[in-house]
Structure 1
Amino acid sequence: MAEAAPAINIGIEENAREEIAGGLARLLADSYSLYVKTHNFHWNVTGPMFQTLHDMFEQQYTELAEAVDEIAERIRALGSPAPGSYTQFSRLTSIPEETGHPDAQEMIRQLVSDQETVVRTAREVFPVVDRANDEPTADLLTRRMQVHEKTAWMLRSLLE
């Protein structure tokens, strides 16, 4: 009979780890939902800015694909299961799904809003992360906010 794995002892209390993992689960759901939407827009963009937007959206969804893995792995390191189904993501996300075929300008507007939504979700997790002195998660959140704030700025610039 195999012995049970030792309890997690990383200097963060279990209730704080669970609360942080819950916040990260929302960030994961938002990030995955944004990944799906950005990939959809990459496939379906049309118009005079096609090549520019097609390439830009590909860079964005590729970066998001790596990010969702990093977020999920942090949730696991904290001792919680990472959500991984459409049902879980749809319950946790703040990103509205797009089932239609918006024009390029509307795609950009939606992505600006969605990038900023991800920033707000990440920012909401910070208070518990700070209280728990969870520097690895703080670093992850800071990096995610930087990426999404910059991406929102770049997308917004296309609308000005």
Structure 2
Amino acid sequence: MSTQKIVRQEAGTVGENPLRLEEEKAEQVIDALNTDLADAYVLYHQLHKHHWNVEGAEHLDIHVFLQEAYEDVEMAADEIAERVQALGGVPHASMATLSEASTVEPEDEDVYDIRTSLSNDLDMYGDIIESYREHIELAAGLGDQATAHMLREQLIEIEEHAHVIDHYLEDDTLVLESATK
């Protein structure tokens, strides 16, 4: 077994790409995408945490929704990382780098009531939605219509998840208050 390590491309560098996007433009798009990638993994872990810890009368519905949501985030992250690579970049991959590059603040390790947890998720989704909109405009403005299209498609899913969470946070419920009051 060889102990020699061969680095094919250093992290943070941009090489030629088969998509013929100029290196300077590709670098800007890659930076934006790596931010989206980092934010996606923070969101993924927070949604997964809430999936594990949800309790209460709506447990099953919310448990299933959160699993769907974190799986969608994971698929989006994979698509983003593959696009970074196609553009000649190196997708962020280590937990330290992802944490450092993320623009969203994760919830701490404590377990909260589901209303607080979902409210924290909705706040994070909102920040990510705003970032995506900026990155769509950036990519389109640099002539990278394919990246802009990919992000638009992902934004639709992100906004739908935020919309569902917003509905969960409404005051209307089928759960009756205790008759022992």
TM-score (norm 2): 0.81
Which of 145, 152, 156 is the aligned partner of 2:162?
A: 152
Shift of 1:111: 1.1
Aligned residue identity for 2:62? L
Aligned residue identity for 1:130? A
- In structure 2, the partner of 1:123 is 133
SS of the aligned residue for 2:89 comes to coil
Distance 1:47 1:138 in 2: 40
Residues 119 and 144, structure 1, Cα contact 8 Å, conserved in 2 = no
- In structure 1, the partner of 2:74 is 65
In structure 1, runs of 5+ residues without a counterpart are 1-5
Distance 1:128 1:67 in 2: 19
SS of the aligned residue for 2:97 comes to helix
- In structure 1, the partner of 2:42 is 33
Greater Cα offset, 19-28 or 123-132: 123-132
**Larger relative contact order (Cα-Cα within 8 Å, sequence gap ≥ 6):** 1
Q: Percent identity?
A: 27
Aligned residue identity for 2:129? V
Match status 1:138 vs 2:128:
no
Shift of 1:135: 1.4
Deviations 1:72-100 (A, max 9, x none): 00000000100011111111112222211
RMSD: 1.6
1:6-155 to 2 correspondence within 5 Å? 7-98=16-107, 99-155=109-165
Residues 137 and 148, structure 2, Cα contact 8 Å, conserved in 1 = no
Residues 39 and 57, structure 1, Cα contact 8 Å, conserved in 2 = yes
Shift of 1:9: 4.7
In structure 2, runs of 5+ residues without a counterpart are 1-14, 171-181
Distance 2:19 2:73 in 1: 28
Shift of 1:12: 1.6
- In structure 2, the partner of 1:3 is none
Structure 1 runs (4+) deviating above 6 angstroms are none
Larger radius of gyration: 2
Distance 2:77 2:16 in 1: 26
Q: More helix per residue: 1 or 2? A: 1
The number of aligned residues is 156
